[in-house]
A and B are shown apart, each in its own frame.
Chain A
Amino acid sequence: AQKVTQAQTEISVVEKEDVTLDCVYETRDTTYYLFWYKQPPSGELVFLIRRNSFDEQNEISGRYSWNFQKSTSSFNFTITASQVVDSAVYFCALSEAPSGGYQKVTFGIGTKLQVIP
């Protein structure tokens, strides 16, 4: 069975600080996909990134960056120079190779990030 662990339930930082959200996953598959989603107070999940298990290149998108390390089964997310608008719950998620023609996504419990002005 696949599993996603987000050990940090809540994090508070002061605006402009950098913050890293940790994600550790478990899977028996060699082919899988990892995701990060943002859930602002409005409730709608917003897709941030998807990586497949064969691509370990780190990725940067503006103030966001992701560090994928298969050796430690981690997919950590860093926000540089945090802003108040970054305040939300962030979910890490995993889906294994499709079975039955679709991918079932397993979400972590989420990390609530509060950015204080």
Chain B
Amino acid sequence: GAGVSQSPRYKVAKRGQDVALRCDPISGHVSLFWYQQALGQGPEFLTYFQNEAQLDKSGLPSDRFFAERPEGSVSTLKIQRTQQEDSAVYLCASSSGTINNEQFFGPGTRLTVL
């Protein structure tokens, strides 16, 4: 497809489990963003990649969160030792440039930690 895709769409994890969330951006898009959206809130920035370089990870809540984009296309957000407060929708967005470009969002992964 032509849009941003994310998998899985839904993930249920037991507290303490590790999870990995995948994002397939639009082909050729340089920029990739991860956001966390808690229930009833707006998306909050987690991290930014420009090609394979992670230029900003200031929004990652703790060192349990780790993101990578090794080949400058697909990205994975990993959460280790999940906690209940990690329950949220994780959104991925990509854009063709680095500035002044529309961000195209994926459908998100809804993570529920029991």
- Counted as pairs of residues, one from A and one from B, with CB atoms less than 8 Å apart, the total is 62
> Are A101 and B45 interface neighbours, CB within 8 A?
no
Chain A positions 82 through 113: 1 when the CB is less than 8 Å from some CB of chain B, otherwise 0: 00000000010100001011111111111000
* Residues of A within 8 A of B (CB-CB), count: 25
Of B42, B89, B108, the residue contacting A91 (CB under 8 A) is: B42
Closest 3 CB pairs of A and B: A107-B42, A45-B105, A98-B99
Q: Judge whether B107 and A44 touch: CB under 8 Å.
A: yes
Q: How far is the CB of A105 from chain B (nearest CB, A)?
A: 7
> Cβ of B43 and Cβ of A107 under 8 Å apart?
yes
CB–CB B108/A102 < 8 A: no
- Is A42 in the interface zone, CB < 8 Å from B? yes
B2 interfacial contact with A, CB 8 Å:
no
Q: Which residues of B contact A107 (CB under 8 A)?
A: 42-44
Number of interface residues of B (CB under 8 A): 26
User: When the two chains form their complex, are residues B105 and A102 in contact, meaning their CB atoms are under 8 A apart?
Assistant: no
Interface residue B66 (Cβ < 8 Å from any Cβ of A) = no
Chain B residues lying within 8 Å of A64, measured Cβ to Cβ, are none
| Across-interface contacts of A46 in B (CB, < 8 A) | 105
B residues near A106, Cβ cutoff 8 Å: 45
| Chain B residues within an 8 Å CB radius of A105 | 33, 45, 103
Known: A44-B106, A91-B43, A100-B56. 17 other contacts (CB 8 A): A33-B100, A37-B105, A43-B89, A43-B107, A45-B43, A45-B91, A45-B93, A50-B102, A101-B50, A101-B55, A101-B98, A102-B50, A102-B55, A103-B98, A104-B45, A105-B45, A110-B41
Whether, in the assembled complex, B94 has its beta carbon less than 8 Å from a beta carbon of chain A, the answer is no
Residue B48 at the chain A interface, CB threshold 8 Å:
yes
Mask: chain B, 85-113; 1 = CB below 8 Å from A; 0 = not? 00001010100001110111111101000
A112 to chain B, nearest CB (A): 9
